[in-house]
Structure 1
């Protein structure tokens, strides 16, 4: 990333490839704090990098839906 210490929401979306709804879901879950400065919503580079590190270290979520593919049970 660049030498900047904060990014605007649209910049974070472009950098990460996340959708706006996913970004705000991460904010609501406490994964990514926002910083308000003079009416602007910003995301600190350090917070973004820390979130990515946490995501890389955590196991993928387990799906609670129906099994798919080869693991699907055969009908009786």
Structure 2
């Protein structure tokens, strides 16, 4: 399959908690603490909690 150059630069708008754990290296419980304090922005879609990718980048200083 051929990938276009612009497809490689697209970042997700949101990620699941499990993905946020892998990306940041933080524990699941620590991520939920950050969500509770408002340091990490989330949206609910049905029962799924999705973390805004931009909020993760801000958190880790990227």
TM range (shorter): 0.7 to 0.9
TM-score (norm. length: structure 2): 0.72
Higher-strand-fraction structure: 2
RMSD value over aligned CA atoms?
A: 2.1
Instruction: Tell me what 1:25 maps to.
Output: 33
Q: Which runs of 5+ in 2 are unaligned?
A: 1-9
> Where in structure 1 do 4 or more consecutive aligned residues deviate above 3 Å?
none
- TM-score scaled by length of structure 1: 0.61
For structure 1, which runs of at least 5 residues remain unmatched after alignment? 57-76
1:37 lines up with 2:61 in the alignment: no
* Greater relative CO (CA pairs within 8 A, separation 6+): 2
Identify the structure with the greater helix proportion: 2
| Corresponding position of 1:51 | 59
